[in-house]
Amino acid sequence: MEKDMTQGSPMRLILGFAVPLLFGLLFQQFYSMVDTIIVGHYLGVEALAAVGATGSVNFLIIGFCMGVCNGFAIPVAQEFGARHEGNLRKYVANCVWLSVIFSVIMTIVVVALCRPILQLMRTPANIIDGSYDYIVIIFLGIPITYLYNMTAAILRSLGDSRTPVIFLVMAAILNIFLDMLCIIVFHMGVAGAAIATVVSQAVAGLCCLIFMYKKFTILHMSKEEWKWNPQFVGKLCNMGIPMGLQYSITAIGSVILQSAVNSIGSDAVAAVTAGGKLSMLLMCPFDAMGSTMATYGGQNVGAGKLERVDGGLKSCVILGAVYSVIAAAIVYAAGRSMLLLFLDAGEAVILDNAYVFIRTNVLFYFFLALVNIVRFLIQGMGFSKLAVFAGAFEMVARALMGFALVPFFGFRAVCFANPLAWVFADCFLIPAFFHVRKKTAAILAKAKD
């Protein structure tokens, strides 16, 4: 079941790992899109805007959960690459303890603050109640988010990117059924969409957990290995918290930008929601590349094979460039038609704005490819704290747009916010990688002496 990424062709290994992961991400986006499609067509534009208005704060919190889990998995990948199975199990055990603690505290705090956050974001009065109904249920599911993302991240750190995909496919199918049931049959409104999402992810998380226990004997722990270990907890927090903060700091910029969009009106919110959903679908390959490079970098640094890190980076950048061109061709050929998944043809102004949004963003996708590839590689090499600075650069760019340009240039400025954020992040990440590589080479050379 495990996949060793320290031997063989980097391009072949990256493709072999990333493709199953890509399908998983596509299905994850798929069942998120189902919420949007059903809400937009059965509950109307106002309900669509209500869900869309929660997007940035959703990313702020859920992104932190995902980042923490991915960071926790980095020491697991490094110990797997170094063939230290005892330490690997201790890291996994302490991942479990930390995930439980983090999820309980976050759920209590975030649920209590939901409505004040939406008010602070200037959510339009006609949609704020719907936004609250949706996001409070999503946040009550934070422990479920930790369950799935933690188990999936550990599986990926051991080289298994296929199994989480299988369970996400199951979850996607279940989510469609539950969406239809909750919204169309039981008339539960946007709350029904949130319930469907949480329940579906719970099923995927439980399936991953059962699979890990039954199939990965390397993870069968003794009573001693289950003990809380301050040394291991410290390293896990040193990796996980910066990765979580990187997501959250990036999201703070998105929250500021979302506030600016909210001030334009619910039609603008709906346009960004529809364009953003399509964009998230098209961005899945970049997310897959990033997660792949975290595991690839972690295993190869753990094995002391720094030269393979260079080869992997080159291969993945080529893949990112090729896909960026393909994505642009798709959007310019069929983007407007694809947006009809979320909007009715009669919503002409909203549809036009959504198309401008996605068409502008796709032209800068190569910069996004570099952000994901380089940032996750740096994290996989063990330098998670640097990712926080990349997130800060993105935050500054989006805040600049939200505070300074959207009030004057309106929706057009919103369209350029993400591209500017990606360019800003690259200006930091590319020099940072060369610094990290040099420092890692020194560490590995010292270890050999």
Q: What is the pLDDT of residues 291-348, one digit of tens each?
A: 899 889 888 888 888 899 999 999 999 999 999 999 999 999 998 888 887 777 777 7
Q: Can you give the pLDDT at residue 116?
A: 94
Q: Is 9 helix (H, G, I), strand (E, B) or coil?
A: coil
Residue found by looking up tokens 């699979």 in the block: 211
Report d(CA 220, CA 85) in Å as an integer. Answer: 10
Residue found by looking up tokens 């750190």 in the block: 157
Residues near 180 by beta carbon (within 8 Å), at least 6 away in sequence: 38
Q: pLDDT tens digits for 20-31?
A: 878 777 776 766
In this prediction, residues 60-66 reach a mean pLDDT of 88
Q: Can you give the pLDDT at residue 322?
A: 96
Q: Can you give the pLDDT at residue 94?
A: 96
Confidence of residue 2 (pLDDT cuts 50, 70, 90): low
Q: pLDDT tens digits for 394-417?
A: 888 888 887 777 777 778 888 888
Report d(CA 193, CA 42) in Å as an integer. Answer: 12
Confidence of residue 278 (pLDDT cuts 50, 70, 90): confident
Report d(CA 159, CA 125) in Å as an integer. Answer: 47
CA distances from 207 to 39, 99, 154, 165, 296 (A): 28, 17, 14, 11, 25
Which amino acid, 63?
G
Q: Tokens for 391?
A: 């997130």
Q: Choose among 199, 184, 433: nearest CA to 312.
A: 433
Confidence of residue 3 (pLDDT cuts 50, 70, 90): confident
Percentage of residues in the chain having pLDDT higher than 70: 97
Query: Concatenated DSSP letters for 381-420?
Result: TT-HHHHHHHHHHHHHHHHHIIIIIHHHHTHHHHHTHHHH
Q: Work out the angle at residue 149's Cα, subtended by the Cα atoms of residues 399 and 367, and round it to the nearest 5 degrees.
A: 40
Look at residue 84 and tell me whether its pLDDT is greater than 70.
yes
Find out whether 109 and 140 touch, Cβ atoms under 8 Å. no
Look at residue 72 and tell me whether its pLDDT is greater than 70.
yes
Q: Is 5 helix (H, G, I), strand (E, B) or coil?
A: coil
Find out whether 309 and 85 touch, Cβ atoms under 8 Å. no
Look at residue 1 and tell me whether its pLDDT is greater than 60.
no
Find out whether 258 and 55 touch, Cβ atoms under 8 Å. yes
Q: Can you give the pLDDT at residue 32?
A: 67
End-to-end Cα separation, the chain, in angstroms: 34
In this prediction, residues 358-377 reach a mean pLDDT of 94
Q: Choose among 242, 255, 245, 243: nearest CA to 399.
A: 255
- Mean residue pLDDT of the chain comes to 88
Residue found by looking up tokens 């899945």 in the block: 284
Q: Choose among 32, 48, 42: nearest CA to 270.
A: 48
Q: pLDDT tens digits for 234-262?
A: 999 998 998 888 777 777 777 777 777 77
Residues near 199 by beta carbon (within 8 Å), at least 6 away in sequence: 174, 175, 178
CA distances from 329 to 250, 272, 362, 371 (A): 28, 21, 9, 21
Listed in sequence order, the DSSP H helices in 121-185 are 128-140, 142-157, 163-179
